[in-house]
Structure 1
C-alpha cells in the first residue's frame, strides 16, 4: 500500500526522469528517450556494399554510418583476392582480369558496444556486369583491424573513379565499360 500523496511511476517514466537527471547509464538514457546508442566501430561503420550496372559504367557503393567520411587508397593488381590467413590465405571465389583493392582508413564492420557485426552484405559476391565481375572482403578477419578492405574483380574496363557522397554517407566506385 502506498502512502497518501505518493505516485508510482512506470518503468519508462522513471527511466526518463533518471536520464533527465543524468543518473542512468548511456544505454538506459537512450532507451528512456527512445534514441539508440550509435555503433562504435573504432572509426566510421561500414554497413554494407551494393552494386548495379548502367549503360556506360558499373557502380559499387560502400554504405557508411554517420561521421566524417574517411580517406581511401586504391591499387590495381593481377593477383587474385585472398582472405583470412587461417591457417593459409584462401582465394576469394570471384574472378577477373584485374583486381582493384580499396582500403578505407579508420572504417570497421564490428560494433564494439554490442559485440556484433554491423555489416549486412555478403563477404563476397559475383556479378555478371560488363566491367564489375564481383566484390569481396580481403585481408584478415580481425575485428581489431582499423581499415576496411574491399576488393573488386574487374573485367574489361577503360578506367574507374572513386568519390564520396553524403546524406547518407557512402563511397562510390564507377568502373567504365
Structure 2
C-alpha cells in the first residue's frame, strides 16, 4: 500500500508543480499595452510637427503616415482670429505680427496629439509657434480635416508649401 502511495505521490507531485507553474505563467491583463496600437486614419495621419531655421527662411514640417497625400489650403493674415468648422470665432493663443493657417484636407490626427502639445513653441527667427486649431472626422459625407496655425513674427516676404514622400510630409517654408 505504501508503495502505491509513493508511486502516486511521484506522479501527482510533479504534475501539480507543472499545473501551478502554468497558472503562474498564464498571461494576465495589464494596465499598459505591451505593443503600440496601430494608427487608424481614414486617409492619412498627421503624426508630428517639427521646425528649424535655415539661411533666409524657417521651415516647419508636418510628419505624415502612410496613405494618399492631403490637399493643402493656406491662409495668411495679421489677425490672430480664425473660425472653427462650426462657425465659432477663436483666436490663436500665441501672439505675433502675422499668422499662417495650414489646413490638411483628407488628413486626421494620428499620434500627433499624443506626442505634441496643443501649442508648440519654436522661437525661430520668424516662426514662433504652431497651434493645433481643430480636427474634424468624416461627418455627413465631408472629408476629415486637421488645421494648424503658425504664429509668425518679423518680416515675411513669402511662404512656400509643398509635399514630400518617403516618408510622407508637408513642408512650409517661411521666408524672411
For normalisation by structure 2, the TM-score amounts to: 0.66
| Counterpart in the other structure of 1:61 | 61
For normalisation by structure 1, the TM-score amounts to: 0.66
Q: Is the CA contact 2:137–2:145 (under 8 Å) kept in the aligned structure 1? A: no
Quote the Cα distance in structure 1 between the aligned partners of 2:151 and 2:39: 30
| Counterpart in the other structure of 1:108 | 108
Secondary structure of the residue aligned to 1:138 is strand
Alignment length, in residue pairs? Answer: 134
Q: Report the CA distance shift for 1:104/1:151 in structure 2 as closer, same or farther (over 3 A).
A: same
Quote the Cα distance in structure 2 between the aligned partners of 1:75 and 1:90: 15
| Counterpart in the other structure of 1:151 | 149
* Residues 26-79 of structure 1: CA deviation (Å, up to 9, x unaligned): xxxxxxxxxx87522122000011111112110000000001111100011222
Q: Is the CA contact 2:136–2:146 (under 8 Å) kept in the aligned structure 1? A: no
- Find runs of 4+ consecutive structure 1 residues off by over 2 angstroms: 36-39, 81-85, 88-93, 141-145
Q: Over the residues paired in the alignment, what is the CA RMSD in angstroms?
A: 2.7
Displacement of 1:149 in angstroms is 0.2
| Counterpart in the other structure of 1:172 | 171
Quote the Cα distance in structure 2 between the aligned partners of 1:79 and 1:105: 23
Higher helix share: 2
Quote the Cα distance in structure 1 between the aligned partners of 2:66 and 2:52: 23
Q: Within 5 A, what are the aligned runs for 1:27-42?
A: 38-42=38-42
